[in-house]
């Protein structure tokens, strides 16, 4: 896996609807490994490689969960809304960057010191709409620099933990974006056409995937994303059996059936390919949560779809942890799936 690419993608800012910085990276990287690349009307980056049938869409979303400026009060403190699913518990005292049109502004989410908390306040879960962003700047400066609608991202730098393990921001889903680029790099001889799509606005409704899938109308589709790593002390086996280092996950259902229910043919093809190519894999049944595949597979008259997800700890929080070998094996599984698509066609 290209660690430098993952680092650049992780450090880039791309709150839902404000994916410009990530879009430029993906446009450049896919341009190096695809026959052609374009940015569509919705902001998806679409790379194309090969020609003829069948057509396969590989989708990885570019956006990340984050915050958006809602209101600036008379003292220069900023109220915000959440863009995507964020647990309010991870927000207090976090460092953020406000992406103003004038410049990036470092700030933090303020909170009352424990010395001043009343007993009932100590037991209370603070909701995000009771929180505020503090830039430390005079109110006049804040009012000149910040506008309603400016996005704010978690201010976290990518860290190499050693032994092929990485910590950083927005691994959901810059990990999938890195897997997408590397898979397209390795795809050289295959039947048909592969579309590599870096999608927008997944975290607020799978929106970019909907428009891209409608336009491309592929024969098959895979979502390349992350899934919940369940190998931490606070998660029981009945909640998740997924472990980091045990290989990528083949999705068997999303959101208890409210999301994608994979095409049996596609799922079987992925499992057969993984076994025969000796690629380690895990089977993942999602209780909640969806990927781009949840909307792709319902597009037009239906598109046979599946999902390959890299286990990641602490997704939708300021920091996550992934293992590089899981990403490498996700690339291998994606490449083998495409190279052996003829077997799926004959099934």
pLDDT of residue 126: 86
Contact yes or no for 284/309 (Cβ under 8 A): yes
Q: Scanning the structure block, which residue is given the tokens 């929106």?
A: 207
Q: Check whether 123 has a pLDDT greater than 80.
A: no
Q: Which residues are catalytic?
A: 202
Q: Check whether 274 has a pLDDT greater than 90.
A: yes
Q: Check whether 254 has a pLDDT greater than 80.
A: yes
Please indicate whether residue 226 or residue 343 has the higher confidence score (pLDDT). Answer: 226
| pTM of the model as a whole | 0.96
Q: Check whether 164 has a pLDDT greater than 80.
A: yes
Q: Scanning the structure block, which residue is given the tokens 């010395």?
A: 115
pLDDT in tens, 17-52: 999 999 999 999 999 999 999 999 999 999 999 999
Distance CA 134, CA 138 (A): 10
Instruction: Report helix, strand or coil for 46.
Output: strand
pLDDT in tens, 186-237: 999 899 999 999 999 999 999 999 999 999 999 999 999 999 999 999 999 8
Average pLDDT, the chain: 95
Q: CATH number of the domain at 3-64+169-346, please?
A: 3.40.630.10
Contact yes or no for 236/256 (Cβ under 8 A): no
Q: Check whether 62 has a pLDDT greater than 80.
A: yes
pLDDT in tens, 287-331: 989 999 999 999 999 999 999 999 999 999 999 999 999 999 999
Q: What is the mean pLDDT of residues 112-126?
A: 79
Q: Check whether 114 has a pLDDT greater than 90.
A: no
Q: Check whether 68 has a pLDDT greater than 80.
A: yes
pLDDT in tens, 91-105: 999 999 999 999 999
Q: Check whether 268 has a pLDDT greater than 70.
A: yes
Q: Check whether 3 has a pLDDT greater than 80.
A: yes
> How buried is residue 41: exposed, middle or buried, by Cβ count under 10 Å (0-12/13-18/19+)?
exposed
Residue-range domain boundaries for the chain: 3-64+169-346, 67-154
For the chain, percent of residues with pLDDT exceeding 90: 91
- In which band, very low, low, confident or very high, does the pLDDT at 347 lie, cut at 50, 70 and 90? low
pLDDT of residue 122: 74
Contact yes or no for 196/32 (Cβ under 8 A): no
Nearest Cα neighbor of 42 from 216, 183, 184 is: 216
pLDDT of residue 344: 85
* Helical residues (DSSP H) of the chain, grouped into ranges: 3-11, 20-33, 119-123, 139-145, 171-186, 207-216, 264-276, 293-296, 324-339, 341-346
Q: Check whether 167 has a pLDDT greater than 90.
A: yes
pLDDT of residue 175: 98
CATH architecture of the domain with residue range 67-154: Beta Barrel (2.40)
């Amino acid at each position: 896996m290209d660690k430098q690419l993952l680092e650049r993608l992780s450090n880039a800012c791309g709150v839902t609807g404000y994916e410009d910085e990530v879009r430029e990276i993906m446009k450049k990287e896919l341009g190096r490994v695809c026959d052609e690349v374009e940015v569509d009307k919705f902001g998806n980056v679409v790379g194309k490689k090969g020609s003829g049938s069948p057509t396969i869409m590989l989708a990885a979303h570019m956006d990340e969960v984050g915050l958006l400026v809602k209101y600036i009060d008379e003292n220069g403190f900023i109220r915000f809304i959440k863009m995507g699913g964020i647990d309010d518990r991870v927000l207090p005292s976090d460092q953020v960057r406000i992406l103003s049109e004038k410049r990036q502004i470092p700030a933090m989410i303020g909170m009352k010191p424990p010395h001043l908390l009343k007993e009932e306040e100590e037991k209370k879960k603070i909701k995000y709409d009771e929180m505020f962003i503090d830039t430390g700047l005079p109110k006049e400066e804040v009012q000149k620099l910040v506008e309603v609608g400016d996005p704010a991202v978690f201010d976290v730098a990518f860290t190499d933990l050693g032994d092929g393990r990485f910590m950083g921001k927005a691994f959901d889903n810059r990990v999938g974006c890195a897997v997408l680029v590397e898979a397209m790099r390795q795809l050289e001889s295959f039947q048909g056409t592969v579309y590599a799509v870096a999608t927008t606005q997944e975290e607020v409704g799978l929106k970019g995937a909907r428009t891209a899938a409608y336009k491309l109308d592929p024969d098959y589709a895979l979502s390349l994303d992350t899934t919940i790593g369940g190998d931490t002390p606070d998660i029981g086996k009945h909640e998740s059996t997924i472990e980091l280092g045990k290989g990528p996950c083949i999705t068997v259902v999303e959101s208890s059936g409210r999301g994608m229910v994979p095409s049996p043919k596609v799922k079987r093809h992925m499992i057969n390919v993984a076994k025969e190519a000796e690629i380690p894999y895990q089977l993942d049944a999602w209780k909640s949560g969806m990927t781009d595949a949840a909307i792709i597979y319902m597009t037009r008259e239906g598109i046979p779809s599946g999902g390959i997800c890299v286990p990641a700890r602490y997704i939708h929080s300021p920091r996550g942890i992934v293992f590089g070998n899981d990403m490498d094996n996700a690339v291998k599984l994606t490449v083998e799936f495409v190279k052996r698509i003829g077997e799926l066609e004959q099934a």
